[in-house]
């Protein structure tokens, strides 16, 4: 077995620290190995351990709850051997980036775990959609990570003055969030981004085609991620050969690339929405009514800020839209979770104690 200091020196570049080691203590006593998930696909995952990357089966830690599925960035306890070898547990997450899987279902999908910086990539090759940036930022804040916006493909913007204006527009929609213009093609702005992602774990988020993989390659300094051809931007029918979604950067820090997302639905992101629209929530404290909807109530500080031009009407519309979307998803989730719990209890009652004990005996 690898010594504690061996584990530390091998896994520290991946973010292993004393707190993770403490959390891992009971698993070490069980003879399990610590490791970080660098890739997940179809019931299997690749885990980097002190002895190298091992492939492990996630069946044991894949309950029906999609929020508890192992994902890239998780720290796990993996069996020392066996065929297949199993991931036996994952350590409690510090942060998790979750979106709702689709508008029809109310499941959350975990895209990355234990992330310190959520880097939202927004392409300057297409018209800026501030509403979409705000939606990504709501989820980014909600994850517990510090959001950063990277405006990619800055080389496609003709002049520096226009670029500066675009950066300002985004800054006005992203209180508390650094905004950087970057070109992976020319290298402009990369130093600023490297400084931000140089410690801790960063996840690259954004629509497919935003330039995330190109950016990852530029940060790593070699072609480790698949970049799709410009004509195939929606990626239909394309096989991705990426071997890892989690990489150690040569200058320090860990980077997680996510698959291209068509869009992200909010998932229980009330406080995230509040942080994206911090100035609106601040104004709302001065509304006459505590539960002011900022529609037609008298003494509404938010509406009067719109009237005076202090607050852009677009910001208020976007805020309303995301608050409504979030309330809807939360209501739907609660109903579903309640129904599921009822079914679960019925099933457990029917199966009886013996079979539950069999399951426990087998797995623990
Ligand atoms: N002009 C320009 N094109 C870029 C830049 N970064 C990426 N691209 C192009 O944008 C397309 C999508 O890039 P990709 O990294 O696959 O995006 P992803 O889907 O977000 O991972 C590719 O055709 C890239 O060549 C850049 O800095 N400048
Ligand atoms: Mg990509
Ligand atoms: Zn109001």
Residue nearest (by alpha carbon) to ligand 1 atom 26: 153
Residues 124, 312: contact at Cβ < 8 Å? Answer: no
Is residue 231 scored above 50 in pLDDT? no
What stretch(es) of the chain map to CATH 2.40.50.140? 4-90
Pocket test for ligand 1, best of 154, 182, 208, 214 (most atoms within 8 A of CB): 214
Question: What integer is the mean pLDDT of 67-83?
Answer: 89
* CATH for 4-90, options being 1.20.1440.230, 2.40.50.140, 1.20.210.10, 2.40.37.10: 2.40.50.140
Tell the residue nearest (CA) to atom 9 of ligand 1.
211
Q: From ligand 1's centre to the CA of 261, what distance in Å?
A: 14
State the pLDDT at residue 74.
96
Read off the pLDDT band of 265 (50, 70, 90). Answer: confident
Say if residue 109's pLDDT is above 80.
no
In this predicted structure, the answer to whether residue 64 has a pLDDT above a threshold of 70 is no
Task: Return d(Cα 359, Cα 347) in angstroms, integer.
Answer: 14
Residue ranges around ligand 1 (CB below 6 Å): 152-153, 155-156, 183-185, 206, 208-214, 227-230, 260
96-257 in CATH: which number? Answer: 3.40.50.300
Residue 330 has what pLDDT?
73
Q: How many CA atoms lie within 13 A of 104 on its CB side?
A: 0
Mutate to test the pocket of ligand 1, among 122, 187, 188, 211 (most ligand atoms within 8 A of CB): 211
Cα atoms found within 13 Å of the Cα of residue 360, Cβ hemisphere only: 5
Q: 347 pLDDT band (50/70/90 cuts)?
A: low
Alpha carbon nearest to ligand 1 atom 7, residue: 211
* Whole-prediction pTM: 0.81
- Whole-number Å distance, alpha carbon 208 to ligand 1 midpoint, is 9
CA-closest residue to ligand 1 atom 22:
230
C-alpha–C-alpha distance, residues 144 and 149, integer Å: 16
In three-state secondary structure terms, 247 is: strand
- Angstrom distance (rounded) from CA 326 to CA 104: 14
Average pLDDT over residues 114-140: 93
Q: For 28-63, what is each residue's pLDDT tens digit? A: 999 999 999 999 987 899 999 999 999 999 887 766
Q: 232-257: per-residue pLDDT in tens? A: 444 443 444 456 789 999 989 999 98
Q: Region 344-363: what's the mean pLDDT? A: 42
Locate 113 and state its tokens: 């775990």
| CATH class assigned to 270-359 | mainly alpha
Closest atom of ligand 1 relative to the 227 alpha carbon: 16
Q: Give me the pLDDT at residue 292, please.
A: 92
Q: Which residue has the higher pLDDT, 300 or 270?
A: 300
Q: Whose CA is nearest to atom 3 of ligand 1?
A: 153
CATH 3.40.50.300, the chain: domain bounds: 96-257
Could you give the residue range(s) of every CATH 1.10.40.50 domain in the chain? 270-359
Kindly state the percentage of the chain with pLDDT values over 70.
81
């Amino acid at each position: 077995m690898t010594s504690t200091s061996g584990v530390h020196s091998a896994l520290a570049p991946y973010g292993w620290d004393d707190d993770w080691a403490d959390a891992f203590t009971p698993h070490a006593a069980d003879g399990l190995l610590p490791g970080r998930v660098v890739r997940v696909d179809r019931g299997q995952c690749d885990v980097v351990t002190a002895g190298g990357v091992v492939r492990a089966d996630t069946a044991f830690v894949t309950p029906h709850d999609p929020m508890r599925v192992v994902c890239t960035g998780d720290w796990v306890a993996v069996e020392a051997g066996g065929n297949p070898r199993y991931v036996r547990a994952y350590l409690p997450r510090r942060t998790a980036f979750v979106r709702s899987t689709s508008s029809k279902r109310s499941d959350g999908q975990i895209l990355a775990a234990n992330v310190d910086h959520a880097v939202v990539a927004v392409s300057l090759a297409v018209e800026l959609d501030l509403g979409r940036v705000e939606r990504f930022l709501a989820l980014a804040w909600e994850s517990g990570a510090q959001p950063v916006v990277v405006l990619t493909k800055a080389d496609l913007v003709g002049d520096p003055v226009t670029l500066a204006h675009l950066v300002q527009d985004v800054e006005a929609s992203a209180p508390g969030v650094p905004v950087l213009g970057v070109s992976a093609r020319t290298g402009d702005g990369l130093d600023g981004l490297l400084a931000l992602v140089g410690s801790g774990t960063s996840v690259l988020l954004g629509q497919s085609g935003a330039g995330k993989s190109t950016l990852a390659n530029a940060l790593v300094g070699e072609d480790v991620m698949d970049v799709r051809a410009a004509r195939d931007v929606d990626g239909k029918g394309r096989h991705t050969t990426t071997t890892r979604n989690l990489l150690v950067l040569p200058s320090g820090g860990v980077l997680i690339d996510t698959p291209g997302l068509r869009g992200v639905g909010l998932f229980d992101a009330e406080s995230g929405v509040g942080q994206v629209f911090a100035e609106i929530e601040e104004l709302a404290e001065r509304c006459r009514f505590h539960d002011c909807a900022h529609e037609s109530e008298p003494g509404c500080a938010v509406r009067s800020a719109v009237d005076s031009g202090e607050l852009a009407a677009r910001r208020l519309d976007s805020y309303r839209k995301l608050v409504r979307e979030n309330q809807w998803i939360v209501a739907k989730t609660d109903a579903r979770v309640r129904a599921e719990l009822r079914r679960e209890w019925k099933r457990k009652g029917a199966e009886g104690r013996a079979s539950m004990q069999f399951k426990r005996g087998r797995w623990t």
